[in-house]
Structures are given as structure tokens and as C-alpha cells.
């Protein structure tokens, strides 16, 4: 049976400019710095990149929430009230069993949606420019044409929550990949499954200095996608 831990948390001294953009019923997000697991920050809904910070979880709740997040478990939040510079948050820490069930359901829904998207007939528009990752050690040149690695539809459906496309050179070696910007990845896949001819030209290769290169795991590049 699924169990969960429900906490009611009062957060004081919230920045007024951030609190003014919150509403009762909104969710909030928690974040724990890797170098300081004894602090849990709170961010308002719809914010990214460190913006929208409402404050920190009070010390009496820090350990239980930090431990929960460190295990990669799910949670739900809701702002119950806002008064002055204080907001009250309800937090439900979802058990391991419940987190697993939720992820399985989310994966199933994501796979179903992706299948419908990729099977829609695609009508080419203007060309695209996408960012890709290249190996640090490569022999690629700007202006070189690459090929999209062909995979079956089922492969992408099974990996709907972590979409990835790869590109090969003339020797059928994988030389580039793209794992972010799912909207652009889906556009390319829809065109591919609609049998729309495309060209993929490597138009830019990052050229980091030798000192920086030592610490990089990969190099960034840009590919121009032209629909024919």
C-alpha cells in the first residue's frame, strides 16, 4: 500500500516581488545544492535558471525533504495561504512505490503522445539550425554533410522521456548527437517518418582553447537542416 508523508510548512521573509507573483493553489519547486545538502531552496512555479526564489525550507523540515530528494523520489506541493511576507505550503512526499507507479504512468502517457505526434504527416517549412554534441576527438569539418541515423519508430516510443537523435558520417560512424530541445527533435523525426528528404550540413564547430578542451566532455556544433 502506498504511504506518503504530508507536511505543512510556513516559509517566512519571502521576497515581496516574488510572493506577489504567487497565488493560493500554485505549486512550488524544491532544490538542494549538491555542495550543501543541508539547505533546501523553494522556487515559485514557472521559473527556471535560479529565478523566482521564495526562500528556504525551515530547518526542522530540511533533513526529511533533502533525504527524499536525494533518493530521486516524487513530491507534490501547494501554496495554502499567503499573508504578508509569509506563505504556507503543503508538501506531500510520495513513497518509493508511489513514485515508481507515477513514473511508469507518465512514461506510458508520454509514449502514447509521442507515437501520435511522430505519425502525423509533416509539411516542411523553413530550414532549421540545431545544436549538437560532437566527440572531443573528431575529424569533422565545417561544411561536411551528415546523415540521420535511421531507427525504428518503436525505439523512440520506448525512449519517449529521453528523446535522442544521432548523426553519422559517410563511414556510418556516429559522429554527432542531440538530446535537448525535444520540439526540434520531434520536427526532424516527423519529417523522417513522413519520408521528407533532408540534408544535414555541419556549419559550425566549437573551437575551445587547449586549456578549456581538457575539461570538456564533448564539443558543441551546429547543423543546418534543409527540407527538400
pLDDT tens-digit readout, 175-216: 999 998 899 999 999 999 999 999 999 999 988 877 676 777
pLDDT at 208: 80
pLDDT at 137: 84
Classify residue 106: in a domain, yes or no. no
Q: 219 and 132, same structural domain?
A: yes
Classify residue 100: in a domain, yes or no. no
CATH of the domain at 47: 3.30.70.2330
Q: 87 and 9, same structural domain?
A: yes
Q: Which of 43, 73, 94 is the last residue of a domain?
A: 94
Classify residue 43: in a domain, yes or no. yes
Classify residue 56: in a domain, yes or no. yes
- pLDDT grade for 2, boundaries at 50, 70 and 90: very low
Q: Which of 69, 94, 119 is the last residue of a domain?
A: 94
Domain range enclosing 212: 128-227
pLDDT at 4: 59
Structural domain count of the chain: 2
pLDDT at 119: 92
d(CA 87, CA 28): 11
pLDDT at 178: 96
pLDDT tens-digit readout, 114-169: 999 999 998 887 899 999 999 988 889 999 999 999 999 999 999 998 899 999 99
Express as a percent the part of the chain with pLDDT over 70: 96
pLDDT at 1: 38
pLDDT tens-digit readout, 16-46: 999 999 999 999 999 999 888 899 999 999 8
Rg from Cα positions in the chain:
23
Amino acid at each position: 500500500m502506498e504511504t506518503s508523508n504530508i507536511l505543512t510548512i510556513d516559509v517566512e521573509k519571502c521576497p515581496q516581488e516574488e510572493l506577489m507573483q504567487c497565488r493560493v493553489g500554485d505549486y512550488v519547486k524544491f532544490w538542494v545544492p549538491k555542495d550543501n545538502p543541508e539547505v533546501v531552496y523553494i522556487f515559485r512555479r514557472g521559473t527556471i535558471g535560479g529565478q523566482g526564489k521564495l526562500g528556504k525550507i525551515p530547518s526542522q523540515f530540511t533533513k526529511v525533504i533533502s533525504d527524499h530528494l536525494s533518493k530521486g523520489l516524487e513530491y507534490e506541493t501547494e501554496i495554502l495561504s499567503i499573508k504578508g511576507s509569509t506563505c504556507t505550503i503543503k508538501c506531500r512526499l510520495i513513497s518509493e512505490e508511489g513514485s515508481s507507479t507515477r513514473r511508469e504512468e507518465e512514461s506510458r502517457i508520454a509514449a502514447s503522445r509521442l507515437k501520435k505526434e511522430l505519425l502525423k504527416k509533416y509539411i516542411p517549412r523553413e530550414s532549421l539550425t540545431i545544436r549538437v554534441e560532437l566527440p572531443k576527438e573528431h575529424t569533422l569539418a565545417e561544411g561536411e554533410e551528415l546523415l540521420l541515423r535511421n531507427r525504428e519508430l518503436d525505439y523512440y516510443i520506448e525512449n519517449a522521456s529521453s528523446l535522442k537523435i544521432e548523426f553519422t558520417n559517410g563511414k556510418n560512424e556516429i559522429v554527432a548527437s542531440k538530446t535537448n530541445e525535444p520540439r526540434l527533435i520531434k520536427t526532424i523525426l516527423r519529417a523522417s517518418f513522413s519520408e521528407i528528404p533532408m540534408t544535414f550540413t555541419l556549419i559550425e564547430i566549437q573551437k575551445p582553447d587547449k586549456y578549456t578542451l581538457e575539461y570538456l566532455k564533448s564539443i558543441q556544433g551546429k547543423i543546418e537542416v534543409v527540407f527538400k
